[in-house]
Structure 1
């Protein structure tokens, strides 16, 4: 398997590639990829700050945006760890910042692809962008990149009708994948849901877009899931 590559390593590699490129088009391509990686890195750091107790105002000041903008960007997804009224789920799910970022990026991928709802194919793309060493290494070992996964993205075959509001759509989907991941790890007290848990959840349904996308790329999904 390829060595794990986390977000910080990829940022350094892309910056060096852009600076050292002898051809302007190569440099521009590297800069475009760098912008995408910086966006994912920003999301992870913002979630780390919020999980550590920073206020939305503090995060907003650090990002140079308004508190309202920071609240809109992050509060909706944070609500996914709060069970609906009357639910029997735990009072609060413990979710790693990288996993939150992956779901948020998945929502952006769904919007960019014009999808009417967010599915596991978009979660797969969000996971690739979030840069988790274990999940990313497993996918890349199978020849999966963000670019080829985007081109091969297959829709989920079944699912609920999408809600009217895209933001609430992300929250509903996030709650589902988070709680599914928690149930799968129920034997581990205090388990923090990470990106690998989300990838396992995304690959749990053969009719889901993530499985169908990987199959379209010639990946043995069962073997991939077993390697996680």
Structure 2
């Protein structure tokens, strides 16, 4: 199995569950109008995203549109949620078919590093590996550090942990884009990229391997 599968082994070993009872849990809503409970937190060390390794090891690099949540799978040490996605553009590799399933760590009871879950209609570019013992077709390399959200036909945002390797793909119009008005998922140190420059960079990396 490819070495990036070790990511999940390391992640599982580093997971620390912060569970509190309902009376002291700050994630429990105190509203008089609802008893809704926000998911508990699982804190995991963020694993840096290595662009070259991810490009080399990915079975599929693709732009996808989130269609729907399929199911939640409650397993230890980390549960996950399965989403059905439409592969709108295959950048590297061949999808199993145009509609595939991917997994995002966490479920309605537990969130990983307070990450928000995908919503129907959102578009992303993902680096994906096929799964062997999972309810999904693929898992996302790097998890949150591998989330590249597509804002429009020209603009992609790496949401967590900008990396020097992508500087050549950064958008020339970054100063004109007010990302605070966009519906970005868990944006932290976001890096605004030109989509075509990103694709060209990935093609060059793949061609050099």
Q: Same-fold call, TM > 0.5? A: no
Higher helix share: 1
Higher strand share: 2
